[in-house]
Chain A
Amino acid sequence: MSVKQPFERVVVAHGPTVLRVCRAVLGAADAEDAWSETFLSALRAYPDLPADANVEAWLVTIAHRKSIDVVRRAARQAVPVADVPDRPAAHDGRDLDLWAAVAALPEKQRHVVAYHHLGGLPYDDVAALLGGTAAAARRAGADGIATLRTTYPDIDGGRR
């Protein structure tokens, strides 16, 4: 029988994964907003989640919805400016190139990399989230990773 853990343990266990997913989908600047919205929403709904649910998959699905909200909100608030401001640097500068390389991927590829490779969602679930077939999601993901290997050659090095 599964036991539902205190929510604190959910944050500790899955917080880093959800942050990676949000960074891949939105970039470093907006990722934290989506992370907070994801865990607030999860905290609200947590008592009703079945004890045997896959908590990480549930969180990644919420992160996807919250990321869409963040993008929509940003679009509504967008004000035309003469000069496009520089991308805000990741605050410690680390892995900036990596997330820039991820950001440069076509949207579908970026989303599959975020939800499957970082979030651990099976391709079937990714397809249900993004539309299309599992096979198409698998191809998009493979294309995305292949592109990253050329745009960010250190990708297999596990730089810290």
Chain B
Amino acid sequence: MSSAPLLSVRDLRVGFATEGGLLQAVDGVSFDVRPGEVLAIVGESGSGKSVTAQTIIGLTRSKNSQIEGSVKLDGEELIEADDATMRRLRGEKIGMVFQDPMSSFNPVYRLGAQIVEAIRAHQEDVGKKQARQRVVELFESVGIPDAARRVDSYPHEFSGGMRQRAMIAMALALEPEVLIADEPTTALDVTIQAQILSLLENLNRERGLATILITHDLGVVAEVADRVLVMYAGRVVEEGTLDEIFYDPQHPYTWGLMGSLTRLDRPRPHRLPQIAGSPPSLLDLPQGCPFRPRCPHEFSKCPDYPGLEARLPEAPGHRDRCWLTPEQKRQKRQVEGQIGLEAPGEVSRG
């Protein structure tokens, strides 16, 4: 793992003009990704994780969107780059895998043809036969059996897992340096999910990719991530290595996420610890910390939103945005012997 980041995002802000006002989907997000590293961005609906990913490759550019900040790939600034540059980048430098492989492929063209299209859009001198052969090899490398025949199948003739493999093949066809996978396994069965995650991990290692994995599933994060970013209401609320986040989480939202997971390796709790309330509307955020309405540990400093800072001297890379002291955090996050947010016995109000 080299130490220079390949992709550097600094203070990214993305706003959309809507009928209800300016919706700030991403509000000051910064992170780095290095070659060979898997960065997981965790969050629920409205957290801004998908918008962040799509903004990196310029898919959110439109008259209604305001994009500020910096995204640097290999030192090249992308936010202000022109459309032609972005188009060149997509596929060649950054490959993207989306969540729903069924709707992500055009149903009227054969799968192989769609990947050939991607290849020839960037490398015009590659002939059709050559490109097709490349696709067959790609299919084999992602574990699609009977590749030579499958290349001519239509998307609806594939199972979900196979389609996702084809999607990954397409994202990597031009050998990009960065791979962004937006909820790649959410729509898949758990046995297939395991295979796809393993595939992603291998590819990441073999090719030294810088991978951004977006998900809401902490189990998936634990399997493949090196570093984790937790997002809420468009902001990063906690950032750290995998072990730091799982074993020493600093932000109440992170505690809530961990607590509400079901664990097969532990006895069943009487009640699933939960987070009260719902994810906020981005048009109507409270002053200061956006998690305040749902946080049982809210206190007088919270209306003043803290910056994303490292508050543990022994872990300079572990940053969070919560005013509680490290000792308070260690104490408050223990709920019935496990990490969680609410004491059980609370009414399940919605």
Do the two shown chains form a genuine complex with each other? Answer: no
